[in-house]
């Protein structure tokens, strides 16, 4: 090769190399690190409960859209892969990559799990979001979950729930003795101190148990979901409030090794998708419950508040259970103390603007001036 040809070759090769390098740099870094991923998500809910199950669907839809379909998460209803109450176990043992569930279903393994969902006389829905995102709750709970190889994302809240369906009125504490009630976890431990016989069963099994008389009462969520499950057909007394669920945080549990293996931008998208689904679920319940409770009353349902005497007894019993568990479970004690301190400060504040404003507006609603 002559010197002239050699110089021309090197010049051409240099231009081509520069172009190739430029084309590589032109591809967004995020695209270069966006692998095709397919996960399975098992939920603790039947598909008929579209607001609860919708939390899983909204999350998966957002993740897919945000990754141009590269990260696909297929949702399965409770019972399709594993029973509803075993969703987190399926994540821990690697049967599925993730689940959408209520953490208090893991109460039997460690009561600390319940603090990630709802506990008697705990935080309301607004307070739970604040404690999770800004009050240290996310860090505290994920430090605990890491011991089980689980990473948790907040993904939904039912807000304050109803107190359940009963075949008879509960006017006094004596009326509660011997009542077989579908209520599990922490609330079941509190109720048992008052003579109630707690039963923990999945949502789809509640109606036949009530119908057959296997149980005398049951709590689930609130008017919209309870109406769908038909409880009003077999028990007409509908009590409130669900003091064991002033707000119920729902969670996405992810197998931690799987979570750690995700690209950082996929993790960020999952966090954003969970926060989006969390807001949507709360909003849907605010829209759906008012109309549902009107329909239930029109169908003959009798609304009843728990008496102050019953609430006082339950509050006392709950504090006893808190003390008993805290004395022997350091994880529980640490997280509960954080939540309890936040609760005291938050209710001090909410007495001023929120309670005064809401009370006034409720009076106007009763006067039909709204």
96 occurs within a structural domain? yes
Q: Convert the pLDDT of each residue in 165-224 to its tens digit.
A: 999 999 999 999 999 999 978 999 999 999 999 998 888 899 999 999 999 999 999 999
Least confident of 27-41, 158-172, 256-270: 27-41
User: Model's pTM, two decimal places?
Assistant: 0.89
329 occurs within a structural domain? no
Q: Convert the pLDDT of each residue in 320-334 to its tens digit.
A: 999 999 999 999 999
Q: Which are the contacts of 178, defined by CB distance < 8 A and separation ≥ 6?
A: 195, 196, 197
Q: How far apart are CA 130 and CA 200, in angstroms?
A: 29
Residue range of the domain that includes 142: 34-157+247-286
Report percent pLDDT > 90 for the chain: 89
112 occurs within a structural domain? yes
240 contacts 303 by C-beta, under 8 angstroms:
yes
Q: How far apart are CA 42 and CA 73, in angstroms?
A: 10
Q: How far apart are CA 187 and CA 130, in angstroms?
A: 23
Q: Which contiguous run of DSSP H or E holds residue 154?
A: strand 150-157
148 occurs within a structural domain? yes
Q: In total, how many domains does the chain have?
A: 1
| pLDDT for 9 beyond 50 | no
* Paired residues of 280 in beta bridges: none
Q: Which contiguous run of DSSP H or E holds residue 298?
A: helix 264-298
What are the distances in angstroms from CA 93 to CA 86, 114, 293? 11, 20, 40
Here the CATH number for the domain that contains residue 122 is 3.40.190.170
Q: How far apart are CA 195 and CA 90, in angstroms?
A: 34
Which of 259, 101, 122 has its CA nearest to residue 186? 122
């Amino acid at each position: 090769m002559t010197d002239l040809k050699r110089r021309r070759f090197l010049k051409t090769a240099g231009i081509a190399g520069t172009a190739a390098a430029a084309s590589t740099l032109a591809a967004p870094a995020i695209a270069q690190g966006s692998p095709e991923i397919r996960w399975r998500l098992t939920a603790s809910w039947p598909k008929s409960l579209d607001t609860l199950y919708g939390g899983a669907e909204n999350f998966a839809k957002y993740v897919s859209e945000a990754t141009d379909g590269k990260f696909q998460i297929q949702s399965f209803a409770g019972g399709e892969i594993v029973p509803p109450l075993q969703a987190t176990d399926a994540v821990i043992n690697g049967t599925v990559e993730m689940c959408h569930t209520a953490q208090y279903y893991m109460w039997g393994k460690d009561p600390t799990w319940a603090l990630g969902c709802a506990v008697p006389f705990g935080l309301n829905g607004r307070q739970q979001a604040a404690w999770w995102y800004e009050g240290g709750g996310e860090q505290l709970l994920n430090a605990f979950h890491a011991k089980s190889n689980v990473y948790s994302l907040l993904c939904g809240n039912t807000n304050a729930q109803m107190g359940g369906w009963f075949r008879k009125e509960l006017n006094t504490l004596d009326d509660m003795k011997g009542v077989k009630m579908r209520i599990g976890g922490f609330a079941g431990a509190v109720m048992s101190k008052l003579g109630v016989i707690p039963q923990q069963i999945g949502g789809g099994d509640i109606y036949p148990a009530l119908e057959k008389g296997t149980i005398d009462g049951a709590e689930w969520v609130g008017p919209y979901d309870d109406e769908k499950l038909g409880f009003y057909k077999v028990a007409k007394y509908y009590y409130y409030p669900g003091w064991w669920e002033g707000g119920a945080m729902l969670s996405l549990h992810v197998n931690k090794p799987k979570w750690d293996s995700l690209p950082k931008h996929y993790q960020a998208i999952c966090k954003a998708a969970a926060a989006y689904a969390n807001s949507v679920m709360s909003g849907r319940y605010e829209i759906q419950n008012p109309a549902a409770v009107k329909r239930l009353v029109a169908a003959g349902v009798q609304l009843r508040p728990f008496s102050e005497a019953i609430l006082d007894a339950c509050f006392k019993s709950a504090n006893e259970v808190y003390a008993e568990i805290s004395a022997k479970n350091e994880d529980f004690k640490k997280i509960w103390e954080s939540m309890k301190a936040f609760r005291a400060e938050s209710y001090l504040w909410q007495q001023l603007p929120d309670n005064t404003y809401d009370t006034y507006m409720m009076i106007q609603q009763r006067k039909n001036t709204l």
